[in-house]
Amino acid sequence: MKACVFFIFQLLPWIAWVGDWALRWTEGSEALQIAFVMFVFPVIMNAIQYYIVDSFIKDRPGEGEGFERVATEDDGEGEEYSPERESVDEEAVKKGGIKTKELREEEEADARGVESSGSSAR
């Protein structure tokens, strides 16, 4: 971090003037300057950093609407389901923990105690 700040000051020597300008309203009150520089400004910057990082985490590719986690028997971790992956064969479904639309409908029907139409023997 200190190296980055050093290089920024080397590349943009006028940036120190910006800091002086930003703190001009606190002149005459050393306690206010210290409070602003050591507390208020870092809290604002941390809040902005939190918002940016949180936005990246929420927008991870491959997750979102239309996906669900399905646990596998091997490792207990899930694999994503996507409507575009409907053409998965039965063996891949059993090994990888991927659920096709038909299997999910069958499970829902079994949970309700109703035989689904077009169900095949497992």
pLDDT tens figures, 35-89: 999 999 999 999 999 999 999 888 876 555 555 555 555 555 555 555 555 555 5
DSSP H/E element including 116: none
Q: Give residue 40's pLDDT.
A: 93
DSSP H helices in the chain: 2-11, 15-22, 30-35, 41-58, 90-96, 101-112
Asked if 16 and 26 count as a contact pair (C-beta separation under 8 A), the reply is no
116, pLDDT greater than 50:
no
Asked if 110 and 104 count as a contact pair (C-beta separation under 8 A), the reply is no
Asked if 21 and 14 count as a contact pair (C-beta separation under 8 A), the reply is no
Averaged confidence pLDDT in the chain = 75
Q: Collapsing DSSP states into helix, strand and coil, what is residue 69?
A: strand
Percentage with pLDDT > 70 across the chain: 58
d(CA 19, CA 34): 13
